Amino acid sequence: MSNAFYTIPEPVNEPVKFYAKGSLERKLLFEAYDEMYKRKIDVPMYINGVTIFTENRKEIRPPHDFKHVVGSYAIANSTHVEKAITTCLEAKLSWEQMPWQDRAAIFLKAAALIAGPYRYKINAATMIGQSKNAYQAEIDSACELIDFFNFNAKFLEEIYSSQPVSSKGIWNRTEYRPLEGFVYAITPFNFTAIAGNLPVAPVLMGNVCVWKPSESQMYSAKIIMDVLIEAGLPSGVINMVSGDPAMISNTVLKHKEFSGLHFTGSTKVFKTLWKQIALNLDQYINYPKIVGETGGKDFVWVHPSANIAQVGTALIRGAFEYQGQKCSAVSRAYIPKLMWNELKSFLNTELKTIKVGSPRESDNYINAVIHEASFDKLVDTIEFVKQSDDASIEFGGEYDKSVGYFVNPTIFVTTNPHFKTMEKELFGPILTIYLYEDADWEQTLTLVDTTSEYALTGAIFAKERAVISKATTLLRHSAGNFYINDKPTGAVVGQQPFGGARGSGTNDKAGSIYNLLRWVSPRTIKENFVPPTNYKYPFLEN
Ligand code: NAD
């Protein structure tokens, strides 16, 4: 027990390294990449602090060079998953009783390890395994993950210090207990930072966790576990299992002590899991907490008063960075007809300079999409548009999977605001533009609001303040992260808490106090210093 009220160091967003030509950081990053590219790694499962190397394994291949094998990862059977759950539950008591400052210190240390000795390793793993260029890996697996750990520790302090008032002779307290049982974290392929944050956020609040990373993020998942172990995380607090998602989830979700799901991924998978939890409800000790951040069909709406170069730049960065595989990526845009010719020529000039290829060559702005299934889906969409009367390919449309899963940045223009690619999430470097009559800008806002099932991110571009004000009001429920004259991607922890509603999730804002509050079950404690000794109230006197 400590005899002091400690405070967590004030978090500051991790400065981004730019990997400019000739810089030491570029040299060190590519040295790490080359060394890791040659080596073969075996990603184990981590159960009770023990690394489990199964015979049943799957290969890890870089999406930009899929004939090359960089290693393999373990495939679980149901016994592994059951062991992961039992182990969690055994580790639970000592973990939740550890003083909070010691718990927090583990993740502050993990942040410092990623900022220092692990930075190039975790970035290189993200580049190799998920095909991110140096900058995209840096803002994700280094900066955002560091920020999640540092800021969440500060939010923990804020939550714990929030206490009720007390009246005379009474002391009221709130204790922020972790949930009973264990939390299950399921993470997507596209952000190493999300993969690290989803198991860690509940664990920071004193919970224990079974973590199932995406099959397409296994290389950097291993580095996350290595960092956490080096930072002093006790055995069994986070147990990482990998393999068949349906089998793992079926085993976890039928356990009576399952108490929370921390999910990020597609809307379809999240809905399946929610239904499965509902069917198992009678078996659980508690009502499980369900937190899910899911798909998006993120928009840019442009008013005739907007600046064309600003709009064009936001479209290119917002739609195509990391091959459009960000849940926040722009995938539909509404452009006034009279602006189109000039904007088109701006886009044309810029897009011609974009190079597509391996993240090992630093001049490639666009790298490969994550796997063959994604590549095939995107190609089918491009071929569908070629045959369509409602839409045409304005830029790009080329693809090649001879070496890696490469799809060039592609823009469709449609005359139908409900065209398939205006409504459906594609998760690739494809943007669809609808041109509207300039005078109809206000009606177009209603169209933006009612077109898709999602409400994750969106941006408006306008100079006129009255327009900005009207659009901000009309689009109140269209996006959980709303941007004015900025691209709708690149949310920064602590600055723009991230998440959306409708089909995009439960909007619990990853990396914020709102999210951490989902992982506690407060206990109210009232203590009466001098309790009454007679039941009779004054009103009873005749
Ligand atoms: P995905 O839904 O295919 O996979 C996500 C996770 O769910 C993976 O770990 C996967 O193995 C697991 N999974 C798949 N099928 C499952 C099943 N039947 N039972 C249990 N688990 C299962 O998503 P993805 O391709 O990894 O990521 C892309 C999706 O994630 C996009 O829809 C994107 O918009 C979304 N996303 C959302 C956010 C956000 O904050 N809103 C952030 C990142 C990604």
Give the whole-angstrom CA distance, residue 303 versus residue 465. 11
H-helix or E-strand containing 298? strand 298-302
* CB 489 within 8 Å of CB 278: no
Give 492's contacts (C-beta < 8 A, 6+ positions apart): 13, 144, 147
Give 388's contacts (C-beta < 8 A, 6+ positions apart): 419
Give 242's contacts (C-beta < 8 A, 6+ positions apart): 43, 45, 73, 74, 75, 76, 212, 213, 215, 218, 221
* Ligand 1 binding pocket includes 497 (Cβ within 6 Å): no
Give the whole-angstrom CA distance, residue 218 versus residue 220. 6
Is 209 marked active-site?
no
Going from the Cα of 267 to the center of ligand 1, the distance in angstroms, rounded, reads 8
pLDDT for residue 411: 98
pLDDT for residue 2: 79
What's the Cα-to-Cα distance from 99 to each of 3, 209, 524, rounded to whole Å?
12, 18, 19
Structure tokens at 441: 């800008």
Catalytic, out of 96, 138, 293, 321? 293
* Ligand 1 binding pocket includes 269 (Cβ within 6 Å): yes
* CB 170 within 8 Å of CB 525: no
Among 130, 214, 504, residue to substitute to test ligand 1 (most atoms within 8 Å of Cβ)? 214
Pairing mode, strands 57-60 and 71-74: antiparallel
pTM of structure: 0.98
pLDDT for residue 1: 63
* Angle CA 213–214–217, to nearest 5: 95
Going from the Cα of 489 to the center of ligand 1, the distance in angstroms, rounded, reads 18
Cα end-to-end span (Å), the chain: 53
H-helix or E-strand containing 423? helix 420-423
Strands (E), 160-294: 170-178, 182-186, 209-212, 238-240, 258-264, 289-293
Burial of residue 495 (CB within 10 Å: 0-12, 13-18, 19+) is exposed
H-helix or E-strand containing 513? helix 513-517
* Angle CA 129–132–134, to nearest 5: 115
The 3-state DSSP class for residue 63 equals coil
* CB 500 within 8 Å of CB 452: no
Residue stretches of the chain with pLDDT short of 50: none
pLDDT for residue 542: 85
The per-residue DSSP string of 9-22 comes to: PPP-PPPPP---TT
* CB 522 within 8 Å of CB 176: yes
Going from the Cα of 239 to the center of ligand 1, the distance in angstroms, rounded, reads 19
Give the whole-angstrom CA distance, residue 266 versus residue 259. 21
Is 143 marked active-site?
no
Burial of residue 266 (CB within 10 Å: 0-12, 13-18, 19+) is middle
